């Protein structure tokens, strides 16, 4: 069973997120091998995450984000706005 093609915006977002994760890894002076070990994933899976492969699993993506110490920031960025009326 063939998968449906992903929309261009989805592919672009995946590529941008992957590039941002790679830049964060480099800023933290971590090698691909070090981050893959820290995230308990293979080097190949980390490369797929950093290359923005939209087929990579959410769990792999989130373990990389967590291993970079950015999970709280991601959760905060996705939190719904607080109600200012209360």
Which CATH number is 39's domain given? Answer: 1.10.260.40
Dihedral sign for Cα atoms in the order 40, 65, 55, 53: negative
Three-state DSSP state, 2: coil
pLDDT digit string (tens) for the chain, length 86 residues: 556 677 899 999 999 999 999 999 999 999 999 999 999 999 999 999 999 998 999 999 999 999 999 999 999 999 998 866 65
| DSSP state letters, 3-60 | PPPPPHHHHHHHHHHHHHHHHHHHHTT--HHHHHHHHTS-HHHHHHHHTT-TTS-HHH
In terms of residue numbers, what domain contains 53?
8-78
How many domains, in total, are found in the chain? 1
User: Is 23 part of any domain?
Assistant: yes
12 within a domain of the structure (yes/no) = yes
The answer as to whether 42 is a domain residue is yes
- 46 is a domain residue: yes
Residue 2: predicted pLDDT = 58
- Rounded Cα distance between 10 and 4, Å, is 13
């Amino acid at each position: 069973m063939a998968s449906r093609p992903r929309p261009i915006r989805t592919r672009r977002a995946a590529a941008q997120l992957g590039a941002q994760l790679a830049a964060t890894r480099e800023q933290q002076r971590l090698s691909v091998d070090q981050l893959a070990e820290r995230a308990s994933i293979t080097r190949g899976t980390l490369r797929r995450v950093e290359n923005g492969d939209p087929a990579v699993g959410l769990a792999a993506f989130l373990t990389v984000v967590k291993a970079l110490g950015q999970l709280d920031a991601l959760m905060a960025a996705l939190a719904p706005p607080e109600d200012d009326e209360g």
